[in-house]
Structure 1
């Protein structure tokens, strides 16, 4: 029985090469491998000029700095999400003034919901973003009268 290929190996190889070429130098390892290959296979009669080598080392330093910055930004993002979550929980049972399209509304924070890792308050049965809160007060005790009333 004769079997024919449905996809040539050239097409697969071209796809893989295109896929790899479209991905940026995402890692320090890839950069170092590329730099080592360039040094290893350079023409001895026409070596890399000093200024080119220094430029490549500068790119390497920039890549390290960008990776460190990215790592710090990820940490800051995690801390911010944690802080927002804590902030939402601290408002449970508090009375808040909220800015809505209809004006300012006052209500009691009944709960906190999370969507995509971001907290939102439940006030009067409505989902409210933390940024809509204008003022926070300690809620008055239920069933209690004004101070001085009998």
Structure 2
């Protein structure tokens, strides 16, 4: 039997890490797709329905207005403005300050505060921002 070399050990470790990462991503994708606020196209999980003519979702996220951990969070269809392109025509606010959000190609949402933690809905992105801010005020995001 051949002796285990450093190269073979590292190759095996990389293969195991890759397999574990794929399993984690698959589990996260499956749990996100179970969220009732996550629009999906039947037969194509993770891909929101899009109108052929408008390029916008046929089922836009619902508006919300609530207090979460003592902070007022709101979300509603955007009425124009500089950030409409990235947010897909949807605006999110924390204590009446707009939270810059972006919708990813897979339908998940991120914000300038929690950029590396995609979530399934605008409400979830607002809550994640409140969690990340830990009581600090959200400052307005400068328009370029």
Q: TM-score, normalised by structure 1?
A: 0.31
Greater C-alpha Rg: 1
Q: TM-score, normalised by structure 2?
A: 0.32
Tell me: higher relative CO, structure 1 or 2? Use CA pairs within 8 A at least 6 residues apart: 2
